[in-house]
Amino acid sequence: MQKKTLVLGVIGADVHAVGNRILDYALTEAGFSVVNIGVLATQEEFINAAMETDAQAILVSSLYGHGELDCRGLKEKCVEAGLDDVPLYVGGNLVVGKQDFAVVEEHYKEMGFDRVYPPGTLPDVLIRDLARDLH
């Protein structure tokens, strides 16, 4: 079976690198081919990487609190680039402060994300969902 390709990165002016490194390791161990664009990644970098590698999913991290500002418009750009069908996930500490996660999830879903994860989500959860969504 062909390995599934995922684009992984931390969006915006965010430099939190530890979770990114662990996700990279765990996803690779789980049999995915991970294209890791690292921290401080722009929307364009996510899209270019996904197009170039024909990725099956885009995994966006945002830890530092500016996620709402940074993620706005990403789905639209994906659609423009013909990546309508590529699932778009986001996880981390997605807003400034401790907020009700249901509201946060709702908000990101409105922005076009297919799955939204709360702070501290472990890689297993992601891997299980990927197995479900990509077949």
Q: Is 37 in the site for ligand B12 (CB under 6 A)?
A: no
Residues 38-67 that bind ligand B12 (CB under 6 A): 59, 61, 63-65
Q: Is 91 in the site for ligand B12 (CB under 6 A)?
A: yes
DSSP, collapsed to helix, strand or coil, labels residue 92 as strand
Chain contacts with another protein (rule: CB under 8 A): 12-15, 17-18, 21-22, 25, 38-40, 64-66, 68-69, 93, 95-99, 119-120
Burial zone of 66 (CB within 10 Å; 0-12 exposed, 13-18 middle, 19+ buried)? middle
Q: Which amino acid is at 54?
A: D
For ligand B12, the binding residue among 38, 107, 121, 134 (CB under 6 A) is 121
For ligand B12, the binding residue among 17, 51, 127, 134 (CB under 6 A) is 17
Q: In what order do the strands lie in the sheet with 88-92?
A: 33-41, 5-11, 57-62, 88-92, 115-117
Cα 66 to Cα 94: distance, rounded to the nearest angstrom: 7
Q: Is 79 in the site for ligand B12 (CB under 6 A)?
A: no
Q: Which amino acid is at 17?
A: A
Cα 32 to Cα 112: distance, rounded to the nearest angstrom: 24
Residue showing tokens 């062909």: 2
| Residue 38 interacts with which of ligand B12, another protein, none, CB < 5 to 8 Å by class | another protein
* 14 part of the active site: yes
Catalytic choice (16, 66, 107, 129): 16
Binding site for ligand B12 (CB under 6 A): 13-19, 22-23, 59, 61, 63-65, 89-93, 96-97, 117, 119-123, 126
